[in-house]
Chain A
């Protein structure tokens, strides 16, 4: 996973509340075998409008997305995080998220920043014309106009994002403990190993 520390660039001022995972990536995109390329299906219904933000000259490839309350609600599909990532988005800024979505986002190297609605409103204004700066290390969102918004993040998630660690790499640090568990299981309950009768 690509580490994430500072992200600066245009922020797509979407602003909508309750953006569900069906809006982020419609169900028919679930029948794929790769994580890549899902950006093409991202926000498909919104992008059917030729004047949509995502494909406009100003915001194409923008690394930040600003949204309203309860972003990522609905189905648990991890494809939503893949679609955002494939679109080039590294940070989402919203007042709240569904639990499953924010977990999936972090697992895929996307930072879900939580800020109050007033801060969102101000950032929406700035995003209309200027870039936004997100610094995970100092936990701040700043603008070229001296705005400075601090945000909270779970220390474990912060570390994973900063170091680009995926959970698998972290668990691999417990390799010895897993090996010890397996050895004890084989000794205590050897019948747990599935052996097919031939």
Chain B
């Protein structure tokens, strides 16, 4: 009899190329996603050492971090120049490196272009049970379809390009089980914000988290990708959700997904991956779905989460003295006073987008709230940035773009945008942004920017009221 194994252990075991005596193993990488920021030096390294890319067929490159979200083509269909010379150089490097090494490349103006973590699953390039890496910590996202996916550094990017493997230490396993049914207005984003607030920003350090339970099973793939995306905000290198019928229905017919008899063989294999009854995790946390409210962050760590009905906490209320000091510093940065009701916090900027929340469901959820309403006067800047060209086209076919623009929100081209402000989309110093992204770090959305992480529906609610708002008040 074989030992019962977890989903993580099954994927790990299936990818060991060579076991080393010190406990590390050479692990095969099934899919390598490449974007323009963390790859130029890796390609330069390959060139300097005269190496080639071992498996260009397992590699997919797409620019996303630096691309402007304003029009990329002029009226004649010619590419518009990119204003920032450094952004332009990174984009040009990818455009040159990918074809030179025979790597599939989605151009900045191609209809499929988008954020690498939106594009992977959407194209069926990311599949359950695969190992996926990318030089970006939110690679954890692909765990939503049951892939073991994690971010790597530039030397590792070069290592994977050259050898299609990585030397890794196995992680511990952590189960986060969300049982029950969430209430109205509570989305996947609220679930993961609540989880991050519960386990803390270092709660999953050294672990891979598997999200289980009826509330997770009930989520769509879009929602699962949102949850797994933020595994890293809880300290875990990767998140996982076991593939099931929802996953198969999502992937079937996608461009790179297996077809015909291959599809049946793939599904049979994917079904065998679920954690065996009796398998154990190193750690388990159980969360009651019914207790989760629409959530919002108040500080500069993603663990600084309160329900929208809550207040800004008093730093003295934390038991740990280092957390007290961190909270006091966060509040000074955020310009907030303890005891202020979250719903009284005014908002000047709205960002709906990022690899956490820029899929079609996110667009629909936000549009449902702004429909027939107008952006509040004190909201200076409100942008909606779909995660890919395909999401954008779908949203436009459903008329969602008009709903946003009629309400006074801007409808943009796909990319990372104000999630990390490497392109021109930035939140000004001292101003607040209700953002559907994943990091509320100091300066993340621009120097001095103040980020409140929320769901798309909550960001839409803030857009029309001009303050953080309990979305349930706006729901019919």
A interface with B by C-beta (< 8 Å): 30-35, 76, 78, 82, 100, 104, 107-108, 156, 166-168, 171-172, 174, 177-178, 181-182, 185, 189-197
Contact = CB atoms under 8 A, between A and B. Distances in A.
Given A30-B37, A192-B130, A168 B163 contact: yes
Given A33-B90, A167-B159, A192 B30 contact: yes
Contacts of B26: 171, 174, 177-178
B125 interface: yes
Contact of B58 (A35, A174, A194): A194
Contacts of B30: 192
A37 to B, nearest CB: 12
Contacts of B291: none
Interface stretch (B3-11, B183-191, B251-259, B411-419): B251-259
Interface in B150-164: 153-155, 158-159, 162-164
A192 B127 contact: yes
Contact of B28 (A167, A168, A178): A178
Contacts of B422: 31
A181 B153 contact: no
B41 A34 contact: yes
A181 B163 CA distance: 12
A64 B473 CA distance: 61
B163 A172 contact: yes
A33 B44 contact: yes
Contacts of A108: 155
- Interface centre among A104, A185, A191, by most chain B C-beta atoms within 10 angstroms, is A191
Which 10 residue pairs spanning A and B have beta carbons closest together? A191-B262, A33-B40, A191-B258, A31-B86, A194-B256, A181-B17, A171-B163, A33-B93, A107-B155, A191-B266
Contacts of A104: 153, 155
Contacts of A172: 162-163
B163 A194 contact: no
Which of A31, A33, A100, A193 has the most chain B CB atoms inside 10 A of its CB?
Answer: A33
A33 to B, nearest CB: 4
B49 interface: yes
Nearest to B84: A31
B344 interface: no
Nearest to B86: A31
B147 to A, nearest CB: 12
Contacts of A107: 155
B314 interface: no
Interface string B159-200: 100111101000000000000000000000000000000000
Given A78-B155, A181-B28, A185-B28, 20 more contacts: A31-B66, A31-B422, A33-B90, A34-B40, A34-B44, A35-B41, A76-B137, A104-B153, A167-B159, A171-B167, A172-B162, A177-B18, A178-B28, A178-B54, A182-B28, A191-B263, A191-B265, A196-B255, A197-B255, A197-B256
Contacts of A185: 28
Contacts of B49: 168
B269 interface: yes
B87 interface: yes
Contacts of B37: 30-31
Nearest to B264: A191
Nearest to B26: A174
Nearest to B43: A33
Contact of A178 (B90, B137, B163): B163
A33 B44 CA distance: 8
Contacts of A156: 22
A168 B256 contact: no
A189 B167 CA distance: 23
Contacts of B87: 31
B159 A171 contact: yes
A182 B28 CA distance: 9
Nearest to A1: B49
B276 interface: no
Contacts of B159: 167-168, 171
Contacts of A191: 258, 262-263, 265-266
Contacts of B154: 78
Contacts of B158: 168
Nearest to B266: A191
Contacts of B271: none
B398 interface: no
A78 B162 contact: no
10 contacts: A30-B37, A31-B422, A33-B90, A76-B137, A167-B159, A168-B51, A171-B163, A171-B167, A174-B165, A178-B163
Q: Which of A100, A156, A171 is packed against the most chain B CB atoms within 10 Å?
A: A171
A178 B256 contact: no
A119 B263 CA distance: 63
